Structure 1
């Protein structure tokens, strides 16, 4: 699955200090980001080569501080329903999960 393939690559990110939180109780597939409290980008684009070079993707970019503030509030509310993944928790995940992640990562170029 996409989620398993993604998890397989989290180690270096977590080790470098990235913060990863998983929305509970299920996957949250939206792509939204804010920049400097002014720009909001919402759309279907993943940040990978497949989306940038092959897939037909679209994002809407909104330059509006009030809209960015509302989206930031939504994000912070969603973060409260998320589970933080630490580097140690990622290392300690069950062998079954590690095996599934490895298998899924073999298909990551297609996901």
Structure 2
């Protein structure tokens, strides 16, 4: 995380942060394995994309995704469908109409068809705006931070995520996810297919902007 801050500071100010003033000795931490993944432009943006894809590809039992902005690219969609084909359960929580960027929600909805047909469960969070950036794989691996599962986060933005390995920590995050799930409404394939023609049209228009959302 220090490196991510220092990189952005250098980019913004031209000042190099170095020495013990900025990097003091750290006490020993806990026992959990953790890894920071940083992506930034113009170099290094591929690392976040690869991390997300590898996590989806490695899943064997369950993928839980809580995303403020869920507009995966074709490769990520393919990985989700491949996970379902090998029997992996997938639950995704996304914002309802209580979103700060309605265009992103519209673009996202356009791509739900194949996911719903494959058995992916998509839920819209009802009470308020929903803003997590969370992926939990197989009850033991968690990534959280600033990155959404969309092309802007994975290819364009400066992002930083923390990956944590451990069933106990994952269980805590799953409990929070399940609580959010209780306050969400599952979207059925029939409901998605029955959207008014005007919504289908605007969703299609929004989908063309996926790479910038």
TM-score (norm 1): 0.87
2:159 is equivalent to residue 57 of structure 1 = yes
SS at match of 2:119: coil
Contact 2:151 2:210 in 1 (8 A): no
Going from structure 1 to structure 2, the CA distance change for 1:5 and 1:13 (only over 3 Å counts) comes to same
Aligned to 1:71: 173
Q: Which of structures 1 and 2 has the larger relative contact order (alpha carbons within 8 angstroms, sep 6+)? A: 1
2:130 is equivalent to residue 28 of structure 1 = yes
Larger Rg: 2
2:190 is equivalent to residue 88 of structure 1 = yes
2:201 is equivalent to residue 99 of structure 1 = yes
Q: How many equivalent pairs are there?
A: 111
2:203 is equivalent to residue 110 of structure 1 = no
Which structure 2 residues correspond to residues 6-45 of structure 1 after superposition, within 5 A? 6-45=108-147
**Structure 1, 55-64 or 71-80: larger mean CA deviation:** 55-64
CA distance in 1 between partners of 2:112 and 2:128 (Å)? 18
- How big is each residue's C-alpha offset from its partner over 1:8-30, in whole Å with a ceiling of 9 and x where there is no partner? 11111111211111111344221
Deviation at 1:74, TM superposition (A): 0.5
Structure 2: stretches of 5+ with no match in the other structure: 1-102
SS at match of 2:170: helix
TM-score (norm 2): 0.48
> Aligned-pair RMSD on alpha carbons?
1.6
CA distance in 1 between partners of 2:180 and 2:141 (Å)? 19
